Copies of this chain bind each other. A is one copy, B any other.
């Protein structure tokens, strides 16, 4: 029996015990956004650190101005000369409200069997990210049990503020760059393509988030007296927002597409092969027709193409009934998802210039800035990507796909910028996991085969 086979066997044999450990972690109410759970967050950090210490990491709970960060380092041991990986996960969870929609208490994890036979773990954090992070920890544990060590040196960094902005993580990474630096980052906080098809997330879109506040008159006006003559900020705002897209769904802001790469032909063919239909993807939320760039496939629109979205808009009278007012102010929140080499600073500046140039007489604009991060991607020919895909394909019996994600994970940018390393995103979440919602779940299969997948990936990366 190969070493890897022995590790996989150990994972199978230890499944019950690994579930007990996961459930113990799930019972800790580590809701990071609510100060009332501060002690629980610390308890979760201490639980994780103790667990890591028990499997040979030198792990500590490190204080920050917010919730602590757990850092654990394996010795080099016999893995000398192998690349070091940094694993990132988070022990904090989303709030549970509305509590009344939970079938069972969110911090009392339980196993259930669905009508289709799938066994699921139900609890807040079952998937995001306690269940996912523990697949990696359990893979390490099995390696340690079987071989007395790890196939390659590993640094663990498990934070407690992912669900409330990771506010103290960025400074922490900068302050501890020398210690945290590795050859590759691994993250387990993403999904499978579907329940049969494993996936490596090869890119994350960047984000520029802006708030525009328009002011016209210095007070709200009566539309009977001033209607027709006074500049109306709601009308100005509508014009600006409406003009941001042309009839083909392309963003009109000058220079917006600078740095947007065309996909290699074979990658485009791979994406096409996934055959993502509007019925499947949009149908689940009551929609039918892709609303993005008309000359792009749906899968491109949501993963490899940049977007501009209006996220919020407010102005004038919005209560019940009618009020004949011309507002003095209006505001909108607008975000851009970036890909390739689009420059967040440049996009922000160009957007603001665009708005200023749209303003008619009597309209003034001010701006608020809420985050900006560039897109990130693993090169399609990165050897680690190939190794991870092969390992996943072997475990699941279905070819692992490599797809870009539409979302943004800002810390991955810091891994690149501050620590100079790529990140491999592998996760086992499913679309029906109800992440951030009541009755969050994680498939037992995701947990079990996820653990086995990490064992295979670690072996592959060490090989």
- Verify A310–B238 contact, CB threshold 8 A: yes
The complex places the Cα of A371 from the Cα of B211 at a distance, in Å, of 34
For this complex, 21 residue pairs linking A to B, each with C-beta atoms less than 8 Å apart, are A211-B322, A216-B287, A224-B337, A224-B405, A224-B406, A228-B293, A228-B406, A232-B309, A238-B242, A238-B310, A239-B242, A282-B362, A287-B362, A291-B360, A310-B316, A311-B324, A311-B327, A312-B315, A313-B330, A318-B331, A321-B370
**Among listed A27-35, A138-146, A298-306, interface-contacting one:** A298-306
5 smallest CB-CB distances across A and B, nearest first, come from A224-B407, A218-B286, A242-B242, A322-B370, A312-B316
The complex places the Cα of A47 from the Cα of B58 at a distance, in Å, of 89
The complex places the Cα of A234 from the Cα of B322 at a distance, in Å, of 21
Known: A218-B285, A229-B290. A317 touches B333 (CB 8 A): yes
**Across the interface, which residues of B come within 8 angstroms of A313, CB to CB?**
234, 237-238, 313-316, 318, 330
- Verify A226–B285 contact, CB threshold 8 A: yes
Asked whether any CB of chain B lies closer than 8 Å to the CB of A172, the reply is no
Known: A371-B322, A407-B222. A229 touches B309 (CB 8 A): no
* Least distance between A310 CB and chain B CB atoms (Å): 4
- Verify B224–A408 contact, CB threshold 8 A: yes
The complex places the Cα of A145 from the Cα of B211 at a distance, in Å, of 67
Asked whether any CB of chain B lies closer than 8 Å to the CB of A289, the reply is yes
Interface string of A173-212 (1 = CB under 8 A from B): 0000000000000000000000000000000010101010
Contact of A229 among B231, B291, B322, B361 (CB under 8 A): B291
Asked whether any CB of chain B lies closer than 8 Å to the CB of A335, the reply is yes
* Least distance between A283 CB and chain B CB atoms (Å): 10
Asked whether any CB of chain B lies closer than 8 Å to the CB of A281, the reply is yes
* Least distance between A213 CB and chain B CB atoms (Å): 12
- Verify A333–B318 contact, CB threshold 8 A: yes
The complex places the Cα of A325 from the Cα of B323 at a distance, in Å, of 28
- Verify B406–A225 contact, CB threshold 8 A: yes
Chain B residue nearest in CB terms to A325: B311
The complex places the Cα of A216 from the Cα of B287 at a distance, in Å, of 7
**Across the interface, which residues of B come within 8 angstroms of A332, CB to CB?**
234
Asked whether any CB of chain B lies closer than 8 Å to the CB of A434, the reply is no
Asked whether any CB of chain B lies closer than 8 Å to the CB of A243, the reply is yes
* Least distance between A218 CB and chain B CB atoms (Å): 3
Interface string of A2-13 (1 = CB under 8 A from B): 000000000000
Given contacts A231-B291, A232-B309, A232-B310, 13 further A-B contacts (CB under 8 A): A207-B324, A218-B285, A224-B405, A224-B407, A225-B406, A227-B307, A228-B302, A229-B282, A230-B282, A237-B238, A237-B313, A288-B361, A310-B316
**Across the interface, which residues of B come within 8 angstroms of A225, CB to CB?**
302, 406-407
Chain B residue nearest in CB terms to A207: B324
**Across the interface, which residues of B come within 8 angstroms of A287, CB to CB?**
216-217, 230-231, 362
Asked whether any CB of chain B lies closer than 8 Å to the CB of A445, the reply is no
Residues of A in contact, count (CB < 8 Å): 80
Asked whether any CB of chain B lies closer than 8 Å to the CB of A95, the reply is no
Contact of A223 among B281, B314, B323, B335 (CB under 8 A): B335
- Verify A289–B231 contact, CB threshold 8 A: yes
**Across the interface, which residues of B come within 8 angstroms of A335, CB to CB?**
223, 227, 322, 324
The complex places the Cα of A235 from the Cα of B309 at a distance, in Å, of 8
Asked whether any CB of chain B lies closer than 8 Å to the CB of A326, the reply is yes
* Least distance between A208 CB and chain B CB atoms (Å): 10
The complex places the Cα of A225 from the Cα of B293 at a distance, in Å, of 16
Interface residues in A221-262 by Cβ distance below 8 A to B read 221-232, 234-235, 237-239, 241-245
Contact of A362 among B207, B211, B288 (CB under 8 A): B288
- Verify B223–A285 contact, CB threshold 8 A: no
The complex places the Cα of A407 from the Cα of B351 at a distance, in Å, of 38
**Across the interface, which residues of B come within 8 angstroms of A301, CB to CB?**
228-229
- Verify B407–A361 contact, CB threshold 8 A: no
Chain B residue nearest in CB terms to A249: B228
Asked whether any CB of chain B lies closer than 8 Å to the CB of A118, the reply is no
Chain B residue nearest in CB terms to A238: B241
Asked whether any CB of chain B lies closer than 8 Å to the CB of A292, the reply is yes
The complex places the Cα of A291 from the Cα of B217 at a distance, in Å, of 12
